[in-house]
């Protein structure tokens, strides 16, 4: 970054600062200057698969091969293709390397030094054609994506303000600060059609307008970075990979609303996101983009980071506010809404991380650029955390209205191990399971709630034929019961009862009546719980009952689990045609439930074995030990 | 407060991990170590815990040992993980 000796005090200072940084992404955008950059992904996903040692090894190799003048080593934010991590990119060639191990560094550096072809071994292989693909854009996972919220993720060094500026950063904020009145800015947001990405899809412009018009001198702007859905990681990736865009979004919103204090409420389990956000805030303070009288304008703004302990309910805005005040994280009755009476009783505006990340794009490119993407009532794009039984797991950003089929098959590469697609769960613990028959549903707020699920934060968990839908409902209820704050009875007691019934069913003790009870109790909880957690907690039960009732019935009537997932309903059996009578199963059975029959096996001296169902504890040891795979469920 | 073992094993039970069989991996650890979730082996070597999503859904199912992440775990990984940490 160009040295700054003094703070930026005017718009002109800032423009000069931008010009001084405008070249910074040239090489990353393909411009040749005789040198190369190796950028290693430095987000949590790739860290977990070892990208830090890959970085160190590149450093050592560049020195060893004397390429310091030829190759710059840098870091990148999340590419979203976490399953194939650690991911590295080489610019300006734009070579996309996957699953890079420390020992691969030597060869990659060598290929750059010797100007030879990319190292094949670390290129993505198209599973359909077997062909190697070197460019990110050519990889099917990326082809149908449209990156707005993630526009900088994987492109910039997330710790570099200069990189952020070089990709148009703060252009939008500058307009909001100097060129637009708050009314005009809100009008633009209305035209853009942005809706909250934190779950409910409330129109962003309207929320801002209410808070702006709320009487009061002091107002707060809050960024909800709690990300409580276990299976969603887009907010974390955005904060790790592009922290400046979240901060810029907050700055624009604060200016429009008239807030001078910002709070980021972030879960303490996200240490890297906290580090990146904090350093972005520090850097902006240093150059004078945060603080008093920003760029000589009357607008002053500072941002503070508050830590959450990872309770799911603290993602709910009123509970979040309580927790940020230092109280127990319990929700309060709305109204009053936070826009009227929020943090410390002052009008407050809460938006989600991804919502904020869209804001700089909208003000930087104009509302039409955003509005033309998406479906009729849901504009722009949405980031999904695609996970579960799909081939390509990772972050996926697509225009609203893209069908589930496109996401799961075209981008996700279909179901793992050639299994059959059964359902996809969206919306996390508040959402529902969507069956394969609805795979052509376009994904937007309206369509998802029409089929009994919801957008939620954008978690998208794909399930195959081996997943039991009753067990999934139980899994979510276990989560809800753990996470209920206990303030209201329907949620505290009702969900516990739901979980007990579900447990009874998966353990093989369910009755027809239980199914009715499940349904009725779910509806009562939905209607009577205090906050969104309780009101939506029965969704996993109701949606599975609606689309997979036959599975519930199989559990209660025939006492079988069609997907063989529920252990208590499992029946291990030895296939007499396959059994060779080796006695290995009988010797390994911990409860002595396996005995020889009088039927001889292939070798007439040995006998075919049989499992005594009454004694069997369904541990599966026999099946694991059988040398001829004669034992199965 | 109970003293935890030399190696704290955390099996992720976030949704992505659950769907890919994390519960079976938890059971395997329980069986192998002879302890339940939240307990420590009598030799003080291992503590078994569960966590809700470590954010490495791309690598599901995931197990962490003293902060180190093991991705794409299978039932066989359980033995390997224990071998590696002792
Ligand atoms: C139980 C529960 C958990 C929630 N968790 C989150 C969360 O982790 N992150 C988030 O942004 N919103 C979460 N929300 C939604 C917030 O209450 C709020 O609607 C949102 O932060 C508003 O921002 P938006 O308009 O930008 O979406 C949660 C809601 C409920 C009921």
Q: What is the CATH number of domain A161-366?
A: 3.40.50.11540
Mutate to test the interface with B, among A99, A230, A238, A624 (most CBs of B within 10 A): A230
Report pLDDT digits (tens) over A413-445.
Answer: 999 999 999 999 999 999 999 999 999 999 999
pLDDT attached to residue A4: 52
Ligand 1 lined by A531 (C-beta under 6 Å) = yes
- What is the rounded distance in angstroms from the CA atom of residue B12 to the CA atom of residue B14? 6
pLDDT attached to residue A418: 92
Q: In percent, how much of chain A has pLDDT > 90?
A: 91
| Domain residue spans of chain A | 35-136, 161-366, 381-464, 469-567, 571-632
Q: Give the DSSP letter of residue A291.
A: B
Examine the pLDDT at A583 and tell me if it is beyond 70: yes
A35-136: CATH topology: Glutaredoxin (3.40.30)
User: Nearest CA of chain B to the CA of A269: how many Å?
Assistant: 8
Q: Give the DSSP letter of residue A138.
A: G
DSSP secondary structure, A11-25, as one string: HHHHHHHHHHHTTTT
What ipTM was assigned to the predicted interfaces of this complex?
0.84
Considering only CB atoms, B20 lies closest to which of A44, A48, A388, namely A388
pLDDT attached to residue A429: 92
The nearest alpha carbon in chain B to A392 belongs to B58
Give distance in angstroms: CA of A474 to centre of ligand 1.
Answer: 23
- Chain B 32-51, CB below 8 Å of chain A: which residues? none
When pLDDT is cut at 50, 70 and 90, the band that residue A228 belongs to is confident
Examine the pLDDT at B25 and tell me if it is beyond 70: yes
Q: In percent, how much of chain B has pLDDT > 70?
A: 99
DSSP secondary structure, A396-456, as one string: EEEETT-BHHIIIIIIT-SBGGGPPEEEEEESGGGSEEEEGGGTT-B-SHHHHHHTT---T
pLDDT attached to residue A31: 95
Mutate to test the pocket of ligand 1, among A267, A317, A332, A458 (most ligand atoms within 8 A of CB): A317
Report pLDDT digits (tens) over A46-89.
Answer: 998 899 999 999 999 999 999 999 999 999 999 999 889 899 99
- What is the rounded distance in angstroms from the CA atom of residue A358 to the CA atom of residue A147? 10
Report pLDDT digits (tens) over A173-208.
Answer: 999 999 999 999 999 999 999 999 998 899 999 999
Domain A469-567 listed as CATH 2.40.50.140: no
When pLDDT is cut at 50, 70 and 90, the band that residue A409 belongs to is very high
DSSP secondary structure, A344-373, as one string: GGS-EEEEEHHHHHHHHHHHHH-HHHHHTS
Examine the pLDDT at B23 and tell me if it is beyond 90: yes
- What is the rounded distance in angstroms from the CA atom of residue A394 to the CA atom of residue A190? 31
pLDDT attached to residue A29: 94
Chain A touched by B14 (CB under 8 Å): yes
- Phi and psi at residue A517, in whole multiples of 5°? -60, -40
Report pLDDT digits (tens) over A442-476.
Answer: 999 999 999 999 998 899 999 999 999 999 999 99
When pLDDT is cut at 50, 70 and 90, the band that residue B1 belongs to is low
pLDDT attached to residue A37: 97
Examine the pLDDT at A338 and tell me if it is beyond 60: yes
Q: What string of H, E and C letters represents the secondary structure of A371-411?
A: HCCECCCCECEEEEEEEECECCCEEEEEECCCEHHHHHHHH
A418's torsion region: left (phi>0), alpha (psi -120 to 50) or beta?
left
User: Nearest CA of chain B to the CA of A222: how many Å?
Assistant: 23
Instruction: Burial-class residue A229 by CB neighbours within 10 Å (0-12, 13-18, 19+).
Output: buried
* Total Cβ atoms within 10 A of residue A121: 14
Instruction: Determine the distance from the C-alpha atom of residue A617 to the mean position of all C-alpha atoms in its chain, rounded to a whole number.
Output: 38
Report pLDDT digits (tens) over A30-53.
Answer: 999 999 999 999 998 899 889 999
Task: Specify the pTM.
Answer: 0.91
pLDDT attached to residue A3: 54
Token readout for B13 is 């039970």
With contact defined as beta carbons under 8 Å apart, do A537 and A502 qualify?
no
User: Nearest CA of chain B to the CA of A610: how many Å?
Assistant: 24
Give the helix/strand (H/E) hosting A40.
Answer: strand A36-41
Q: What is the CATH number of domain A571-632?
A: 3.30.70.20
Considering only CB atoms, A461 lies closest to which of B19, B31, B56, namely B19
Report pLDDT digits (tens) over A127-177.
Answer: 888 999 999 999 999 999 999 999 999 999 999 999 999 999 999 999 999
Mean pLDDT of chain A: 95
- Looking at ligand 1, which residue's alpha carbon is closest to its atom 22? A351
Chain A touched by B56 (CB under 8 Å): yes
Instruction: Burial-class residue A433 by CB neighbours within 10 Å (0-12, 13-18, 19+).
Output: buried
When pLDDT is cut at 50, 70 and 90, the band that residue A618 belongs to is confident
Mutate to test the interface with B, among A50, A274, A387, A623 (most CBs of B within 10 A): A387
pLDDT attached to residue A619: 81
Examine the pLDDT at B54 and tell me if it is beyond 60: yes
Give distance in angstroms: CA of A312 to centre of ligand 1.
Answer: 10
pLDDT attached to residue A613: 87
Q: What domains are defined for chain B?
A: 7-84 (3.40.30.10)
- What is the rounded distance in angstroms from the CA atom of residue A223 to the CA atom of residue B19? 30
Domain A381-464 listed as CATH 3.30.420.10: no
Examine the pLDDT at B13 and tell me if it is beyond 70: yes
Token readout for A613 is 């169902």
Examine the pLDDT at B56 and tell me if it is beyond 90: no
Stronger pLDDT, A303 or A621, i.e. the higher one? A303
Using a CB-CB distance cutoff of 8 angstroms, which residues of chain B are in contact with residue A475?
Answer: 15, 18
């Amino acid at each position: 970054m160009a040295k700054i000796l003094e703070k930026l005090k005017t718009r002109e200072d800032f423009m000069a600062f931008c010009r001084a940084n405008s070249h910074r992404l040239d090489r990353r955008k393909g411009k040749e200057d005789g040198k190369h950059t190796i950028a290693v992904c430095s987000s949590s996903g790739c860290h977990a698969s070892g990208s830090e040692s890959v970085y160190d090894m590149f450093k050592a190799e560049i020195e060893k091969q004397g390429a310091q003048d030829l190759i710059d080593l840098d870091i990148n934010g999340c590419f979203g293709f976490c399953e194939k991590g650690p991911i590295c990119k080489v610019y300006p060639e734009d070579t996309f390397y996957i699953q890079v191990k420390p020992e691969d560094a030597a060869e990659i550096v060598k290929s750059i030094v010797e100007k030879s072809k990319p190292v094949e071994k670390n290129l993505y292989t198209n599973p359909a054609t077997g062909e190697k693909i070197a460019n990110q854009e050519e990889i099917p996972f990326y082809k149908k994506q449209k990156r707005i919220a993630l526009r900088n993720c994987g492109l910039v060094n997330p710790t570099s303000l200069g990189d952020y500026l070089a990709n148009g950063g703060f252009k939008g904020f500058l307009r909001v600060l100097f060129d637009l009145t708050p009314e005009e800015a809100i009008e633009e947001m209305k035209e853009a059609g942005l809706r909250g990405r934190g779950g409910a899809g409330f129109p962003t412009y309207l929320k801002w307008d209410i808070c702006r018009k709320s009487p009061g001198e002091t107002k707060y702007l809050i960024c909800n970075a709690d990300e409580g859905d276990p299976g969603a990681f887009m907010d974390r990736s955005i904060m790790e990979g592009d922290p400046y865009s979240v901060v810029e979004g907050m700055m624009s919103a604060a200016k429009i609303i008239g807030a001078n204090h910002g709070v980021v409420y972030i879960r303490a389990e996200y240490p890297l996101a906290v580090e990146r956000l904090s350093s972005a805030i520090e850097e902006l303070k240093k150059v004078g983009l945060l603080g008093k009288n920003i760029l000589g304008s009357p607008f002053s703004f500072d941002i503070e980071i508050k830590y959450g302990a990872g309770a799911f309910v603290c993602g709910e805005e009123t509970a979040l506010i309580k927790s940020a005040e230092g109280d127990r994280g319990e929700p309060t009755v709305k109204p009053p809404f936070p826009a009227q009476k929020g943090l410390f009783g002052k009008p407050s505006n809460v938006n989600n991380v991804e919502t904020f990340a869209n804001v700089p794009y909208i003000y930087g490119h104009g509302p039409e650029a955003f509005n033309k993407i998406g479906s009729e009532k849901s504009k722009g794009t949405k980031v999904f955390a695609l996970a579960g039984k799909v081939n390509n797991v990772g972050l996926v950003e697509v225009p609203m209205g893209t069908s589930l089929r496109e996401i799961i098959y075209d981008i996700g590469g279909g179901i793992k191990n050639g299994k059959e697609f059964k359902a996809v769960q969206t919306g996390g613990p508040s959402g529902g399971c969507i069956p394969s028959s609805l795979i052509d549903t376009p994904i937007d707020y309206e369509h998802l709630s029409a089929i009994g699920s919801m957008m939620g934060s954008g978690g998208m968990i794909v399930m195959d034929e081996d997943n039991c839908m009753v067990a999934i409902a139980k899994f979510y209820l276990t989560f809800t019961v753990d996470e209920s704050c206990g303030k209201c009875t329907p949620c505290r007691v009702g969900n516990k009862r739901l979980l007990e019934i579900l447990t009874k069913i998966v353990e093989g003790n369910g009755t027809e009546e239980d199914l009715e009870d499940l349904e009725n109790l779910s509806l009562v909880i939905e209607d009577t719980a205090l906050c969104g957690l309780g009101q939506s907690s029965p969704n996993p039960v109701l949606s599975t009952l609606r689309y997979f009732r036959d599975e519930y019935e199989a559990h209660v009537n025939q006492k079988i689990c069609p997907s063989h997932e529920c252990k208590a309903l499992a029946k291990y059996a030895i296939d007499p045609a396959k059994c060779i009578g080796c006695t290995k199963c009988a010797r390994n059975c911990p409860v002595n439930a396996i005995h020889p029959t009088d039927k001889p096996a292939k070798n007439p001296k040995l006998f075919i074995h049989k499992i005594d169902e009454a004694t069997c504890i369904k541990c599966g040891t026999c099946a694991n030990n059988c040398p001829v795979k004669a034992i199965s469920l | 407060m109970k003293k935890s073992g030399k190696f704290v094993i955390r099996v992720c039970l976030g949704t992505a991990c659950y769907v890919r069989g994390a519960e079976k991996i938890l059971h395997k650890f329980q069986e192998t170590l002879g302890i339940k979730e939240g307990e420590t082996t009598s030799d003080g070597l291992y503590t078994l815990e569960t966590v809700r999503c470590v954010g490495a859904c791309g690598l599901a199912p995931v197990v962490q040992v003293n902060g180190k992440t093991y991705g794409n775990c299978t039932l066989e990984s359980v033995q390997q993980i224990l071998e590696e940490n002792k």
